[in-house]
Amino acid sequence: MATKKTPAKKTPVTTTPAKKTPAKKTPAKKTPAKKTPAKKTPVTTTPAKKTPAKKTPAKTTPAKTTPAKKTPAKTTPAKKTPVVSTSASTMKSPTKKSAAGTKTAGTSASTMKRPADTEAAVGAKTAAGRRRVEPDFRGFSDATIAFLRELEQNNDREWFGANKTRYEENLRRPFEALASDLEPELGAAKVFRIYNDVRFAKGKPPYKTHGSVVFEDGRRGLVYYVHLEKDHLFVATGMHAMLPDQVRRYLAAAADEEHGADLAERVARAESSGLEIGGEALKTVARGYPKDHPNARFLRHKGLTTARRLPIAPWLFSGEAIEHVREVFAEGDDVNRWLARHVGPSTEGNRWVKR
């Protein structure tokens, strides 16, 4: 019976699983989990590559070539220079303009006579940056009158071609200087050509026997006109030939009892001072108005001006001539104020000076 203790041999059989428990695989495989930190280490270096690569090239630095744009932008004073000389655009030479500007760049226009209502216009011009310089107009000359007299006797292309230089120096240039001086206070100027339009007028001489300039105040619709012939200087202001919308407003105001009476009184004062009343007019009253209207005289007009003819005198050959021109404009200012208030500028724009 003692031989049956064989179960003791099974004991080493139970130890075999003991060899499997120390599973050398678990400690060996878990401890070298060195791969995870190894991957994290280069990860931290990647942002360092992004920072210098994208930020240091500073794309804004080459893009900031804007200083190059600012440099030409600072040449805007060059744009102001022609603005100052716009009224003197017809002067003889740029050297004379600069000389005039340096001599009396600070000369004030306040001491010069001008129509009362033009003061606002002068202020607007000054506010826009225009400055007064030494006057360019020195009057006309004996040579101017001599040229006009000879032209009247020799009004043909051959004679004019041989004397064109005399025309440029003695007639056109003085009118351009007058336009340059008065334009800032009266409005845009236009020196008329001396050539006649002979296309539809048989027997009409090829040249005008006078020189002339017109100024147009587009803000108020008024015009100022100066015209020199061999024996007198003609100066006029008002609205010579109104455009259709102006004619309608003018007739309505002239036919009005109160405004029409006011106009008649102003015109009477102008005539009593020796001014001529002119302007485009019909032979009878405008259509739609009674012929026996109290203001029938003015209902014929499609334009209304005041003017004076000044005989040739010594003052015409000096800078004093411009003051005589201003005085006539001032005398017509009473009628001009009525026109500016009741008629005003045309909705179609300027009539005489197109710019």
The yes-or-no verdict on residue 54 having pLDDT over 90 is no
pLDDT at 114 (0 to 100): 39
Q: Residue 124: inside a domain, yes or no? A: no
Between CA 233 and CA 216 the distance in angstroms is 19
**Digit-coded pLDDT (tens) for 191-200:** 999 999 988 8
Full-prediction pTM beyond 0.85? no
Does residue 266 belong to any structural domain of this protein?
yes
**117 located within any domain:** no
Would you say residue 86 lies in a domain? Answer: no
Q: Which helix (H) or strand (E) holds 252?
A: helix 244-255
pLDDT of the residue at 355:
59
How far is CA 244 from each of CA 114, 197, 247, 254, rounded to the nearest angstrom?
30, 25, 5, 15
Which residues, 6 or more positions from 265, have their beta carbon under 8 angstroms from its beta carbon? none
Identify whether 317 is part of a domain.
yes
Taking the C-alpha atoms of residue 208 and residue 152, their distance in angstroms, rounded to an integer, is 9
Q: What is the dihedral of CA 66, 69, 70, 73, to 10 degrees?
A: -160
Using an 8 Å Cβ cutoff, are 279 and 335 in contact? Answer: no
DSSP string, 236-283: EEEESS--HHHHHHHHHHHHSHHHHHHHHHHHHHHHHTTPEEES-B-S
Q: What average pLDDT does this structure show over 162-187?
A: 96
pLDDT digits (tens, 9 = 90+) for 96-105: 333 333 333 3
Angle at 177 between CA 242 and CA 218, to 5 degrees: 25
Residue 289 has pLDDT above 90, yes or no: yes
C-alpha dihedral, 13 to 17 to 19 to 20, nearest 10°: 150
Q: How confident is the model at residue 134 (pLDDT cuts 50, 70, 90)?
A: low
Here the CATH number for the domain that contains residue 286 is: 3.30.930.20
The Cα–Cα gap between 70 and 150 comes to 59
pLDDT given for residue 135 in this prediction: 59
Question: What mean pLDDT value characterizes the chain?
Answer: 75
Query: In total, how many domains does the chain have?
Result: 1
Which residue from 351, 310, 303 is spatially nearest to 329, judged by alpha carbons?
310
What is the chain's length? Answer: 355
CA distance 299 to 289: 8
The pair of three-digit structure tokens given for residue 221, joined into one six-digit string: 């619709």
Question: pLDDT-based confidence at 13, cuts 50/70/90?
Answer: very low
What's the rounded Cα separation, in Å, for the pair 322 and 326? 6
User: Comparing C-alpha atoms, which of 92, 88, 74, 86 is closest to residue 129?
Assistant: 86
Q: Is residue 74 part of a domain?
A: no
**Looking at the predicted structure, is the pLDDT value of residue 275 above 90?**
yes
Interval 283-306 mean pLDDT: 95
* 190 touches 180 (CB < 8 A): no
Instruction: Tell whether the model's pLDDT for residue 86 goes beyond 70.
Output: no
The two three-digit tokens of residue 250, written as one number: 């003018």
Mean pLDDT in residue range 60-67: 42
> What mean pLDDT comes out for the span 145-170?
97
Residue 158 lies in a domain: yes
pLDDT over 70 percentage in the chain: 62
Tokens of 119: 């003061």
Domain carrying residue 259: 136-342
Q: Which percentage of the chain shows pLDDT scores above 90? A: 57
CA 200 remoteness from chain centre: 36
Within-domain flag for 305: yes
Q: Which residue has the higher pLDDT, 190 or 88?
A: 190
- Give the N- to C-terminal CA distance of the chain in Å, as an integer: 144
* Res. 295: pLDDT tops 50: yes
pLDDT tens string 318-350: 999 999 999 999 999 999 999 999 999 999 888
